[in-house]
Amino acid sequence: MPSAAPGPVGVLGGTFNPVHLGHLRSAVEVLERLQLASLRLMPCAVPPHREAPECSAQDRAAMVDLALRDEPRLQCDRRELERSGPSYTVDSLAEIRGELGPQRSLCLILGFDALLHLDSWHRWQDLLGLAHIVVIARPGWELPQQGVIADWLKQHRSTDRASLRSAPNGCVLVEELRPLDISSTEIRALLAAGRSVRYLLPEPVLSYIEHHQLYQRVGAQSEPAEQ
């Protein structure tokens, strides 16, 4: 009997400044719901559409590593830290596609907030040629009803999860997961104000922040949605 094809590989890109339970719970839920073989959290080195975070890429990746310590299905993918220049998702997906080969299903996971700005991403029209895109709901954000992204969604959206397995790339799926209203922006603001962020992120990440005295700058400000 032929063995079943391996499950899709998922990639969740972000700044992870810092990683929090909104990222982690969404990652586990999407992994199980879509029966992904694994999911990689991929911290960017230099975000293309926002100011460089004051916390180094090494610190952000180290916190992702700590957060994933006990969950082998989730991994930290450091490729963007090893490349110079802006961290374009399309370049990372092209590299991963090259490693996986043309047949393996690959899924880029995005929150609703990231989807709204997708058309500002470098070569965004090429993304579906490399991967499927799975959009996950995020409290406070709605799918666009009109405009370029709404039209693009209409054109590519599938409601059938099986489409992630029947082709290696090319579909957009929208998933409602457990809503967790947690953001890195809020965590940075709380820390800058000297308030507790306990239970918003894993304890080892909190210990790392305290040990390295991260995010203590007074007047941390909110930033625009990420690429």
Least gap, CB of 189 to ligand ATP (angstroms): 9
132 in contact with ligand ATP (CB under 6 A): no
d(CA 208, CA 214): 8
Per-residue interface string for the shown chain with ligand ATP, residues 177-206, x marking contact by CB under 6 A: ---x-xxxx---------------------
**Contact between 93 and 126 (Cβ < 8 Å):** no
d(CA 206, CA 66): 10
d(CA 214, CA 210): 7
Indicate which single residue of 10, 111, 168, 202 sits in contact with ligand ATP (rule: CB under 6 A). Answer: 111
92 in contact with ligand ATP (CB under 6 A): no
Per the structure block, which two tokens stand in for 175?
A: 């998933």
Residue 108: name the closest of 181, 193, 36, 32 by CA: 36
Q: Which residue type is seen at 224? A: P
Least gap, CB of 147 to ligand ATP (angstroms): 18
46 burial class (0-12, 13-18, 19+ CB within 10 angstroms)?
Answer: middle
Per-residue interface string for the shown chain with ligand ATP, residues 26-55, x marking contact by CB under 6 A: x-----------------------------
Least gap, CB of 94 to ligand ATP (angstroms): 19
In the complex, the residues that contact ligand ATP under the rule CB under 6 A are 12, 14-17, 22-23, 26, 110-111, 113-114, 136, 138, 180, 182-185, 223, 226
